[in-house]
Chains A and B, each alone.
Chain A
């Protein structure tokens, strides 16, 4: 078969056909994978809530509400209740101070604000360095761990900034971003406690924790 000549008409037509076919097939693939992607994300969210606030009996996904932090970031809060009593809240928090892009973390706080556990949801940090944040701040070694600490009583910044948390080796910026996300979650949660009847109804000692 002879090769198509490089006339303007042929070139425009060829590119048009190729981009149309590409666009159509991508649209088709998008429809095909939309369900599984959403399901994978939901499963991840549910697993993350379970990990950061274990022992709830309600469905935190149903009682989810959103708050906006001082920085204008949208936070999702999942109240975890055991037999109607608030045992903690899982907060999907984020920061834009990451080494490359946003860092999303799910952090579990007790009603008084003590950190139960956390899980890193999304980030674009350097593989092998910033990615270590997934386990680093849970590991009970030196001053790495932030579990069981309280952002008001403990200075949760990296030791380089005068805080009491050891930063990830060679990933100080990622560590700062991570701790910033935790701080955003804590600040937004405590500031909005009084205006959230759903939360304050179930536990009354929260006003004292402020």
Chain B
């Protein structure tokens, strides 16, 4: 598999949200606005790249039976670093994502890539895989966040498109996340079929 494949598969063919349906907790939880979705996606991307990098580096030292706890410790470390950094430099975004930042630890996308890819491949491929998967995840979250923000509160990245009173509140709520995600997946599947 060449490196371009490793990178691009995260966007479409193996997109975490649209195809693998991994990481549903933040996908449904924080995408009530585009900027939250993007912030969450980028935070997850950082964790993915760094944990893939470290896991690829130390994979030979870790005995098989304790690999999952080892990966989780590595992932949790990077999540805490992201959490502290965001709190220090982007407090507003940190406030709006709140609880979902520490929850990146249990995002199965991150552990999934560490276990399924980084522990079997070399350093370069693992980093590129993490980057592709993470950016694909960010793209999916931003798309979903944009749709929900636009339909629900009449805004896009905080810019008012139409008055909020005409928005459909359901799209800001949890059911709206399921509805929007369902249609988005259906649409992507249709495009894939035709391609």
Is B one of A's binding partners? yes
Q: Are B36 and A37 in contact (CB under 8 A)?
A: no
A64 within 8 A of B: no
Q: How far is it, in angstroms, between the C-alpha of A36 and the C-alpha of B77 when the chains are bound?
A: 20
Q: Are A129 and B87 in contact (CB under 8 A)?
A: no
Q: Are A6 and B66 in contact (CB under 8 A)?
A: yes
Which listed residue, A19, A29, A127, touches B84 by the CB 8 Å rule? Answer: A29
Q: Residue on A with the closest CB to B164? A: A132
Q: Are B74 and A22 in contact (CB under 8 A)?
A: yes
Q: Residue on A with the closest CB to B165? A: A141
Q: What distance in Å separates the Cβ of A158 from its nearest Cβ neighbour in chain B?
A: 18
Residues of A close to B29: CB separation below 8 A: 127
Residues of A close to B98: CB separation below 8 A: 124, 127
Q: How far is it, in angstroms, between the C-alpha of A41 and the C-alpha of B32 when the chains are bound?
A: 25
Q: Give how many B residues have a beta carbon under 8 Å from the other chain's beta carbons.
A: 36
B103 within 8 A of A: no
Within 8 A of A (CB), among B63-122: 63-66, 69-70, 73-74, 76-77, 80-81, 84-85, 87-89, 91, 95-96, 98-99
B43 within 8 A of A: no
Q: What distance in Å separates the Cβ of A103 from its nearest Cβ neighbour in chain B?
A: 12
Q: How far is it, in angstroms, between the C-alpha of A7 and the C-alpha of B76 when the chains are bound?
A: 25
Within 8 A of B (CB), among A1-25: 1-7, 10-11, 14-15, 18-19, 22, 25
Interface size of A as a range = 20 to 34
Q: How far is it, in angstroms, between the C-alpha of A35 and the C-alpha of B9 when the chains are bound?
A: 40
Residues of A close to B85: CB separation below 8 A: 29, 33
Within 8 A of B (CB), among A39-63: 40-41, 44
Q: Residue on B with the closest CB to A121? A: B95
Q: Residue on A with the closest CB to B84? A: A33
B169 within 8 A of A: yes
Main SS of the interface on chain B? helix
Q: Residue on B with the closest CB to A37? A: B88
A128 within 8 A of B: yes
Q: How far is it, in angstroms, between the C-alpha of A159 and the C-alpha of B64 when the chains are bound?
A: 60
Instruction: Output the residue of A6, A18, A100, A169 with the most chain B CB within 10 A.
Output: A18
Q: How far is it, in angstroms, between the C-alpha of A26 and the C-alpha of B95 when the chains are bound?
A: 21
Q: Residue on B with the closest CB to A25? A: B77
List of 9 A-B pairs having minimum Cβ-Cβ separation, nearest first: A36-B88, A128-B32, A128-B172, A6-B63, A22-B77, A6-B65, A33-B88, A33-B84, A37-B88
Supplied contacts A18-B74, A128-B153, A169-B169, 7 more A-B pairs, CB within 8 Å: A15-B70, A15-B73, A25-B77, A29-B80, A40-B91, A41-B91, A129-B172
Could you tell me which A residues sit within 8 Å of B by CB distance?
A: 1-7, 10-11, 14-15, 18-19, 22, 25-26, 29-30, 33, 36-37, 40-41, 44, 100, 122, 124, 127-129, 131, 169-170
Could you tell me which B residues sit within 8 Å of A by CB distance?
A: 29-30, 32-33, 36, 58, 60-66, 69-70, 73-74, 76-77, 80-81, 84-85, 87-89, 91, 95-96, 98-99, 152-153, 169, 172-173
